[in-house]
Chains A and B, each alone.
Chain A
Amino acid sequence: MFIKKYIEQETINRRDLLLASACGLGGVAAAGLLGPGMARAAIQDPTIAWSYRNRTNPYWNEIVSGGEAFVESLGMSKDALVHLINEGSSEKSLADVKALLAKTNGDLALAIDTNDAPNARPVVEACVDAGAYVSTLWNKTDDLHPWDFGDNYVSHMSWSDEGPAEQTARILLEAIGGKGGVVHLGGIASNNPAIERLNGLKNALKDYPDVELLDAQPADWDTQKANQVMSSFLTRYGDEITGVHCANDTIGYGVLEALRAEGISIPIVAYDGNPQAVELVAKGEFLVTVFTNPHWGGGITASLAYHAATGAFRPSEEPHEHREFYGPTIMITPEDALEFKANYLDSVPTYDWTDFWGPSNGQIKYK
């Protein structure tokens, strides 16, 4: 665990250094070449690619299945989608993109999560230079905007988790009658969603002076780790814990089992809206989870890049809220869990992949 974290840290630092020196030299030269009007004529039949961490994680699995559904909607087999898997390495992410750009000669519609924010700029610049079209998801720095790159940097979608996490917290705090003690089990401490989801809880707590936040510990998005952290919480706080706020569903599963082992039943709220979590909400074992529709997110990101590439729409003619926007969030409570399950999970809805912004959630705001 350490080793992994340490290596991640190191690679990021090393890359930052390289980036800094590269920007110094290349930035000046590149500035003259870029700018609107650079985009060339539409690409007839671009290669469609999704670049992401890996498929082990159910979340990314959903994202990519959306990408595949989009490709199938074009009448191709889902194998036509090119998968670039970075395994959590930004270097690999960038190197794979450059290799694919060379191979396709820039005839590329790329959907990508660049693994970390600083990596977004070199990826976008490589695509723009090659005349390819790119849409990003989740990671980018605040100073990087699609509208600064004409048509080729098509769009960026992200989610703000603070608001929805605050809503789940309010539902939890109401359920425990506005008094008692809650614990929070978070994601990897340095991850942005982990920080936002804890902040959401803290915001909600301001309105509930009689509820104490007993403890908040990272559970690294991991079921087994969450299970162990929750049992330790039970030792430390015992009956003082009247509710549990989890940063995501996989953490929630571990918490649920730690409580089941002790025969305890207290309200748990989760996040992400994984199918299994939705079932638990329907059974009343989770109080609420938040669905961010990763399937749609994965599909629409690929669709935006593709349709910009084919010239179906010109990104530079779209307003800013169509270039940088928040993804959808849906609260799933016991009352609507079954209906939600029937509509979204048992049968994956057939989305109109040309309705680019319908389900989205407004323009991204920077703090």
Chain B
Amino acid sequence: MVAVRTTNSPTLPDNPRHGIVLEALVKWAPLLVLLVLIAFFALMEPRFLSIRNFARIGISSSPALMVAIGVTFVILMGSIDLSMEGTVSVSAVLFAFAFLALGGTLASLAWLALPVALIVGAIIGFINGLIHIRLRIPSFMASLAMGFVGTGFALLITGGDRIRIEDELFRSLLTVRWFNFPIMCYVAMALVLVAWFIQSRTKLGRNFYAVGGGEELAHASGLNVGRVRIMGFMLAGAFYAVGALLAVGRIGIAETATGNNFMFVSITSVVVGGTALWGGIGGIWNTVVGVLIVNVINNGMVVIGLPGFIQDGVLGLLVIVAVFLSTDRKSVSFVK
């Protein structure tokens, strides 16, 4: 899973033009994989290629996309965050409690529950980062543990109950459609742009790449690496909370199980999209493509009528193929 990059690739291709073509291919491979998958499913079942189905894929992708974008920031830094399931559950449940306590409809003060959820997500991320940096615990372990704490906490405050959010205004995230797509798809797209802005136009975004590309170098250049990492975890936490809000919007229920499955889907999406687990390579757009690949596969397999027991296996194989196609093995000296 972890790989070491050589700073100066010793295996430069003999023909520079060949190298450029290869580089472009690797860069665009995830998108190619996505297009091939869409073409494949469309060929097997023409109904796959309908606007209504794309809206369905959009609905299932939106919450996962937010979570995957959050973890992308952390992975870009060469760390990993596995707290998403707990963070999503806690944010969803606290949002639901605050929402109902403040009036139960977006038309009242209850809209304040939206920023509350984001702050809760960021706080959990902050604690993650603090444990990782101050206690010097690997991010893998710190965040996994925090994820469990989150799930436990969500269970504690709900007592195992599910909380229904029935407000028509909030549920319009799902029920109201503009140009065939529900509002939640547009919210997700808007946040993709926000994330892209953070990644490419802010100092913080550049620092993520600096830390992921070479932590010692970044440190030697005077960058407060610990601070950048904590900021990264906070940002990730806030995006998990957005994912939680969309997940609640999608089914109208907040519960401890709201966070289920997000870990597998988001990490898989990030990796399939071509963002390297060792940091410094990839970004938001890779993740967008990755999430779409995973959701197109999930949707497509049911649409073409593959039996359930084959689906998991096919998804696993496709993940390997996608990662194989989208990783530039030339820049990696060894993988362990």
Asked whether A and B interact, the reply is yes
A162 interface residue, CB < 8 Å from B? no
A232 interface residue, CB < 8 Å from B? yes
| Nearest CB of chain B from residue A262's CB, rounded to whole Å | 8
A225 interface residue, CB < 8 Å from B? yes
Are the CB atoms of B47 and A1 closer together than 8 Å?
no
Residues 1-43 of A, flagged 1 when their CB comes within 8 A of B and 0 if not, give 1110100000000000000000000000000000000000000
Are the CB atoms of B308 and A235 closer together than 8 Å?
no
Are the CB atoms of B299 and A235 closer together than 8 Å?
yes
Chain A: residues with Cβ within 8 Å of the partner, total of 38
Query: Which of A56, A222, A238, A254 has a CB less than 8 Å from the CB of B47?
Result: A238
Are the CB atoms of A235 and B60 closer together than 8 Å?
no
B115 interface residue, CB < 8 Å from A? no
Are the CB atoms of B299 and A5 closer together than 8 Å?
no
B218 interface residue, CB < 8 Å from A? no
A233 interface residue, CB < 8 Å from B? yes
Given known contacts A58-B160, A58-B161, A235-B48, A222 and B260 CB-to-CB distance under 8 angstroms = yes
Residues 212-249 of A, flagged 1 when their CB comes within 8 A of B and 0 if not, give 00011110001111011101111110100000000000
Chain B interface mostly: helix
Complex Cα distance, B58 from A228, in Å, reads: 11
Query: Which of A56, A216, A276 has a CB less than 8 Å from the CB of B155?
Result: A56
Are the CB atoms of B261 and A222 closer together than 8 Å?
yes
Q: Please give, as numbers and ranges, the residues of chain A lying within 8 Å of B302 by CB-CB distance.
A: 215, 217, 229, 232-233, 235-236
Are the CB atoms of B160 and A257 closer together than 8 Å?
no
| Nearest CB of chain B from residue A88's CB, rounded to whole Å | 13
Q: Please give, as numbers and ranges, the residues of chain A lying within 8 Å of B253 by CB-CB distance.
A: 223, 253
B303 interface residue, CB < 8 Å from A? yes
A260 interface residue, CB < 8 Å from B? yes
Are the CB atoms of A5 and B256 closer together than 8 Å?
no
Are the CB atoms of B151 and A260 closer together than 8 Å?
no
Query: Which of A1, A260, A276 has a CB less than 8 Å from the CB of B162?
Result: A276
Are the CB atoms of B305 and A215 closer together than 8 Å?
yes
Are the CB atoms of A235 and B50 closer together than 8 Å?
yes
Given known contacts A217-B302, A235-B47, A236-B305, A2 and B316 CB-to-CB distance under 8 angstroms = yes
Given known contacts A217-B308, A261-B175, A231 and B182 CB-to-CB distance under 8 angstroms = no
Given known contacts A227-B251, A276-B164, A236 and B47 CB-to-CB distance under 8 angstroms = yes
Q: Please give, as numbers and ranges, the residues of chain A lying within 8 Å of B315 by CB-CB distance.
A: 2
Residues 38-74 of B, flagged 1 when their CB comes within 8 A of A and 0 if not, give 0000000101101011001001100000000000000
Residues 310-325 of A, flagged 1 when their CB comes within 8 A of B and 0 if not, give 0000000000000000
Q: Please give, as numbers and ranges, the residues of chain B lying within 8 Å of A257 by CB-CB distance.
A: 174, 250-252
Query: Which of A60, A223, A276 has a CB less than 8 Å from the CB of B257?
Result: A223
Q: Please give, as numbers and ranges, the residues of chain B lying within 8 Å of A57 by CB-CB distance.
A: 160, 257
Are the CB atoms of A189 and B308 closer together than 8 Å?
yes
Given known contacts A231-B59, A236-B47, A236-B303, A61 and B159 CB-to-CB distance under 8 angstroms = yes
Are the CB atoms of B162 and A58 closer together than 8 Å?
yes
Are the CB atoms of B257 and A56 closer together than 8 Å?
yes
Closest to B61 in A: A228
Q: Please give, as numbers and ranges, the residues of chain B lying within 8 Å of A254 by CB-CB distance.
A: 251
| Nearest CB of chain B from residue A118's CB, rounded to whole Å | 22
Q: Please give, as numbers and ranges, the residues of chain B lying within 8 Å of A262 by CB-CB distance.
A: 52
Complex Cα distance, B258 from A228, in Å, reads: 14
Q: Please give, as numbers and ranges, the residues of chain B lying within 8 Å of A235 by CB-CB distance.
A: 47-48, 50, 52-53, 56, 299, 302-303
B247 interface residue, CB < 8 Å from A? yes
Q: Please give, as numbers and ranges, the residues of chain B lying within 8 Å of A229 by CB-CB distance.
A: 302
Closest to A226 in B: B251
B178 interface residue, CB < 8 Å from A? no
Task: From A5, A215, A236, name the one whose CB has the most chain B CB atoms within 10 angstroms.
Answer: A236
Complex Cα distance, B308 from A233, in Å, reads: 13
| Nearest CB of chain B from residue A180's CB, rounded to whole Å | 19
Closest to B301 in A: A232
Q: Please give, as numbers and ranges, the residues of chain A lying within 8 Å of B161 by CB-CB distance.
A: 58, 61
Q: Please give, as numbers and ranges, the residues of chain B lying within 8 Å of A2 by CB-CB distance.
A: 264, 312, 315-316
Complex Cα distance, B53 from A234, in Å, reads: 8
Closest to A64 in B: B160
Are the CB atoms of A55 and B155 closer together than 8 Å?
yes
Q: Which of B249-299 contact A (CB under 8 A)?
A: 250-253, 256-258, 260-261, 264, 298-299
Q: Please give, as numbers and ranges, the residues of chain A lying within 8 Å of B252 by CB-CB distance.
A: 257
B309 interface residue, CB < 8 Å from A? yes
Q: Please give, as numbers and ranges, the residues of chain A lying within 8 Å of B298 by CB-CB distance.
A: 228, 232
Closest to B262 in A: A224
Complex Cα distance, B47 from A31, in Å, reads: 63
**What 6 additional pairs, Cβ within 8 angstroms, besides A222-B257, A222-B260?**
A56-B257, A189-B308, A189-B309, A231-B299, A233-B302, A235-B52
Would you give 27 A-B contacts (Cβ < 8 Å), ordered by A?
A: A1-B261, A55-B160, A56-B155, A57-B257, A58-B161, A61-B160, A189-B308, A216-B308, A217-B302, A218-B308, A223-B257, A224-B247, A225-B261, A228-B60, A228-B299, A231-B299, A232-B298, A232-B299, A233-B302, A235-B48, A235-B53, A235-B56, A235-B303, A236-B304, A238-B47, A253-B251, A261-B56
Shortest beta-carbon contacts, A-B, top 8: A232-B302, A61-B160, A231-B56, A235-B53, A218-B308, A228-B60, A257-B251, A236-B303
